[in-house]
Chain A
Amino acid sequence: MNTKWSKGFGALMLSTLLVTSACSGGGGGGNSPDNATNKPASGNVGAAEGGSTTLSIMWWGTDARHEATKKALDIYTKQNPSVTFKPEFMAWDAYWQKLPTLAASKTITDVLQMDAAFIQEYVSRGQLEDLSDIDLSGIVDPGVIENLKIDGKLYGIPLSQNAQGLAFNKVELEQFGIPLPHKDWTYDEFFQWARDARAKLPEGKYPIGDTTSWDGFNYYQTSMGKPPIMSDGGKTFTLDKELFMKFYGTYEEFRKAKIVPPAEKAAAFLENDPQADPMASGVLMTRGATTGSVSALEQLMPGKVGVVNLPVGPAGGGWAQSTIFLSVSANSKNKDEAKKFVKWFIEDKEAGTALGLTRGIPINPDVYASLEATLEPKDKIGKEIYDLSLDKALPFYSPAAGFSEWVDTYRKEMEAVTFAQQSIEDAFNKIDKMGKELAEKAAG
């Protein structure tokens, strides 16, 4: 039976080998067939052989964006037969889960989509290539470019217009006889509007939502003419105590007066979830929304969404600028080709038509003009936020590199305030201390 056993064992081992090699069949050596263009991808051989290049590119988004982008890549290859692509695309969460691992193994794609919330982390750690020498005149307003520079350099080609505003349930507000918010309302008007609306709304419905995230207060602080909480790449930290106490004091009063929902209810909110979205579920009359995100809300409650810009102060309010970019990896071996491509991506009319509005309102006015006729109601609302916000807009402030944990701490400390587990002042002290320590570390 020894021989019988060894025969069996041999068979097992053989099948092991077979399956392993079968599975590696398509992918071994990293030269997987390129599915979008059906041309062999061979990035490492690339430029050496006959001047052909394969650019790897990665983005996040919805399926509409994937299909449109693949079409645009095909157009580029048609115009530049020596360049082919190895595209990789996924949804938002997966993208930001995967990107740090790619960075660690130094295999970030040549071209990658970037978001304003993350760009500082990647720039400060040398992952992105300086794109300042790309000539964007005639495509993007020079003022916009200046605004996007980090330490005087441009690391991402802006793709679309974005702006922060406030969405409101216009159908129900009218139904309860509450005046609709108007453009450029001040913070005082906003708070008073909420108080007045409370009186007219039935129980279980609330005019505005509570606020626990850092940016909600940052809008307030900057609109009052103070510096942003984080500036100078995180080296300067300013949390204005007087404004902080006043702002959150107002919300504390609102919680007592049921102008904002109780903490327990607020903690269950999940934006853009059909059941848990604060506004789509019918609980709140208003909530924050951006040009890029408001269409998702509109789809949950079609025909009911109106928009207004964020409340303003003496210095202005809200922001209106691009928050989504194409960047080039600092480790790319095809930087010149990549730079040529990212410029083409926002410049070319044919590409613009193929891409449509899948990344929002195109940054290039010429491309936008050719698409304007195709705007659907959900796109128009987004554009409306942008138009309303533009003249009073302040810059977009993103978390400085190294502050991502502080952002979470801010939310948790303020959550504890909403649950009445600590005072506003205690929360201030903790948030301020941590912020100052981080700024000190960044400075030096």
Chain B
Amino acid sequence: MTIGVIADSKTRTQTKSMPVKEKSKRISGQQLAGYIFISPWLLGFLLLTLWPIAQSFYLSFTEYSLLEDPVWTGTDNYVNIFTDDATFTKSLSVTFMFVLFSVPLKLFFSLMVAIALNKNIKGMNLYRTAIYFPSLIGGSIAVAALWRNMFGLDGYVNQVLAWFGIEGVGWISNPDTSLGTLILLNTWQFGSTMVIFLAGLKQVPQELYESASVDGAGKVRKFISITLPMLSPVMFFNLVLGIIGSFQTFTSAFIITKGGPINSTYMYAMFLYEKAFKHYQMGYASALAWILLSIVALLTLINFAASRYWVFYESDGGKTK
């Protein structure tokens, strides 16, 4: 059914099919054009990014305090991390939990809100701005004070709970609830993901809905057979980037909980940061970074492999690959 509706859409532009010869000529001309187009990035990568990345890889095999020159130690850092570092295990599992809950929650929530905001009613721009607001203040220093105000032992959340006769806890200062609270806060800042969904929703051609209506499709069927597949590239983007970003979550743990209490919110990125800049072990931190890269790269690879089953690209000719 999905493919059926989409395939119908192909008729909306009168396509003259191209001779095969012409097509292959176009592809060979693309060799140079391709490199010309990606050259801004490629140049930046070679000039600005490659060297620091290579350096960090080298440093991961050294002991490097930043205050002295690095000393080659071979694979010592990696061996220590895997055999003799309880904090590594702890921060990795905290981060996995964070990613596991926060990514799907945020995706779901932001998609729902994007759909709700994808209407033409008066004042919609005000609503959108209001709803985007929490995401704007994410990096602001006032935020930490705000969260303490809301989730403290005498904070507003507990005051509201008290109306219902529920005794609250110190949401941020209790090791059982601190991580959950951080996940919640992170979900609350769904604005960027939502905006990307919104932009994606607007790209869905209205004709598709119109022709589906002619076919007698209902709201739900239109959503499942048009909106979801047309939105799948954007959803894929949000998923992949959500995972990459969540594994590197730093700010909320750093400014709100400082990793505590008792390491319950000690995110991997914070562990890595403290190793590098607080404990003067940049070599060790670099090894941690490359381990994280391997984990995230593996997950991204799996994501890309799985994407061919559910991500629909119009440019691939109206078929999922």
Contacts and interface: CB of A to CB of B under 8 A. Distances in A.
Contacts of A276: 148, 152
Contacts of A263: 261
Contact of B279 (A103, A270, A404): A404
B67 A267 contact: no
A408 B279 CA distance: 10
A100 to B, nearest CB: 4
Interface string A383-411: 00000000000000000000011001000
A106 B21 CA distance: 61
A265 B277 contact: no
B167 to A, nearest CB: 12
A415 interface: yes
Given A103-B67, A404-B278, A405-B279, A267 B149 contact: no
B145 A267 contact: no
Main secondary structure of the interface of B (DSSP, over half): loop
Contacts of B65: 125
A101 interface: yes
A412 interface: yes
A160 interface: no
B172 interface: yes
A242 interface: no
Interface string A105-123: 0000000000000000110
A275 B279 contact: no
Interface residues of A, number: 29
A415 B262 CA distance: 6
Contacts of A268: 148, 152-153, 170, 172-173
Nearest to B276: A100
B68 A264 contact: no
B274 A267 contact: no
A265 B173 contact: yes
Chain A interface, DSSP helix/strand/loop, else mixed: helix
A13 B170 CA distance: 55
Interface string A418-444: 010100000000000000000000000
Contacts of A266: 173
Interface string B280-302: 11100000000000000000000
A415 B67 contact: no
Nearest to A127: B67
B152 A267 contact: no
A48 interface: no
A275 B249 CA distance: 26
Contact of B153 (A101, A122, A125, A264): A264
A368 B41 CA distance: 59
Contacts of A408: 274, 278-279
B174 interface: yes
B242 interface: no
Interface in A74-111: 96-97, 100-101, 103-104
A412 B153 CA distance: 21
A415 B274 contact: no
Interface string B67-78: 110000000000
Contacts of B276: 100
B166 to A, nearest CB: 16
A188 interface: no
B152 A97 contact: no
Contacts of A265: 153, 170, 173
Interface in B49-92: 65-68
Contact of A100 (B66, B149, B170, B262): B66
Contacts of A127: 67
Interface in A125-182: 125-127
B170 A412 contact: no
B169 interface: yes
Interface in B209-263: 260-263
B318 interface: no
A126 B68 contact: yes
A100 B67 contact: yes
Nearest to A264: B170
A100 B260 CA distance: 24
B200 interface: no
B180 interface: no
A200 B173 CA distance: 28
Contacts of B278: 404-405, 408
A194 to B, nearest CB: 22
B67 A419 contact: no
Interface in B169-206: 169-170, 172-175
A216 B284 CA distance: 30
A205 to B, nearest CB: 13
B256 to A, nearest CB: 11
Interface string A257-298: 000000111111010010110000000000000000000000
30 contacts: A96-B277, A97-B277, A100-B276, A100-B277, A104-B66, A104-B67, A104-B282, A125-B65, A126-B68, A127-B67, A264-B173, A265-B153, A267-B173, A267-B174, A267-B260, A268-B152, A268-B153, A268-B173, A270-B148, A273-B148, A275-B145, A275-B152, A276-B148, A405-B275, A405-B278, A412-B260, A412-B262, A415-B261, A415-B262, A419-B261
Given A104-B282, A126-B67, A267-B261, 16 more contacts: A96-B277, A104-B67, A125-B65, A125-B68, A125-B280, A263-B261, A264-B153, A264-B173, A273-B145, A404-B280, A405-B278, A408-B278, A412-B260, A415-B260, A416-B262, A419-B262
